[in-house]
Amino acid sequence: MGRMVWVLLALLPLASCLRVGFVAPDDDAGDAASDQPRLDFDAPVALDAAFESGGDDLLAPTVVLNMAVQSDLDDGELDGSGSFGTNGYAPQGERNCWTYMGGYSPNVGPGDGTTISFFRFALPRAIPDGATIVSAKLELYARAGWMWQPQAHTLSIFGERASDAARVTSLADSPQKPGGRTLTTASQPWGVEGDGPLVWPSSGWQTAPDLSAVVQEIVDGAKGVAQNAHLQLFIYRPPPNDSGEVAVEDYCHSDGNHARLSIAFRR
């Protein structure tokens, strides 16, 4: 009897998540058996309310959303010099279906010294208001660079503060222009000022540092983002004193290595 009491005491902390059933003894089991409670594993299980509501961060399930650029109009390049594309807007990249990002010496052209790339992704499902972004991983397929110095240059990654970011359609949409797109306050450095020197290969996938803070600001500012709504990222170097750019595959490239984004969140 004493051993059974200790078992029951050990089970008390589970009372919020397991319903204990008592099984009536057989008529001929004896009086001693009638005093012995037994667990009924056919009794219904009641989940703790914190688990059901996702209130406990340790128990709340993590949802992972994987997406990629789906259209040639959803990535491209902006250059204030206006030296390529349509007045500096190039949805197919600068050349060879390569999109450049970084900066250049202002004396190269009449622009503001930045080369901006943009990437727009459609959410396969909603991210609700109050969600916590656990991780946000951006992957781009590298295609060489121009005057890039790993020990000196850093890219900056921003998000657009919008509940459903519209497509970029001209240089006027540049976040560097008056009336252009509004960027998140949060940004993520990618390079020597972030995780260390960014060596850019002539080909191969490159993974940016975690963008959780950037995506979190978008979700919080929009009070949740609906299914099929769009998140848009902008990458460039702040106006530098020298030139340095890297190139990635644009959607139009025949190899089909489209930019991709993976977001994990908890409710």
Task: Classify residue 53: in a domain, yes or no.
Answer: no
Specify whether 146 is located in the same domain as 249.
yes
* Per-residue model confidence (pLDDT) at position 106: 66
Specify whether 122 is located in the same domain as 249.
yes
Specify whether 158 is located in the same domain as 37.
no
Specify whether 201 is located in the same domain as 76.
yes
The model's pTM: 0.77
Domain count, the chain: 2
Instruction: Give the model confidence (pLDDT) of 109-158 as tens digits.
Output: 556 678 999 999 999 999 999 999 999 999 999 999 999 999 999 999 99
Is residue 17 scored above 90 in pLDDT? no
Query: Are the C-beta atoms of 248 and 101 separated by less than 8 Å?
Result: yes
Task: Classify residue 56: in a domain, yes or no.
Answer: no
Query: Are the C-beta atoms of 68 and 124 separated by less than 8 Å?
Result: no
Task: Classify residue 244: in a domain, yes or no.
Answer: yes
Q: Residue 130 contacts by C-beta under 8 Å, 6 or more apart in sequence?
A: 224, 267
Half-sphere exposure (Cβ direction) of 77: Cα atoms closer than 13 Å? 33
Specify whether 35 is located in the same domain as 76.
no
Task: Classify residue 54: in a domain, yes or no.
Answer: no
Task: Classify residue 17: in a domain, yes or no.
Answer: yes
Specify whether 186 is located in the same domain as 260.
yes
Specify whether 234 is located in the same domain as 207.
yes
Is residue 14 scored above 70 in pLDDT? no
Whole domain around residue 12: which residue ranges? 2-46
Specify whether 253 is located in the same domain as 150.
yes
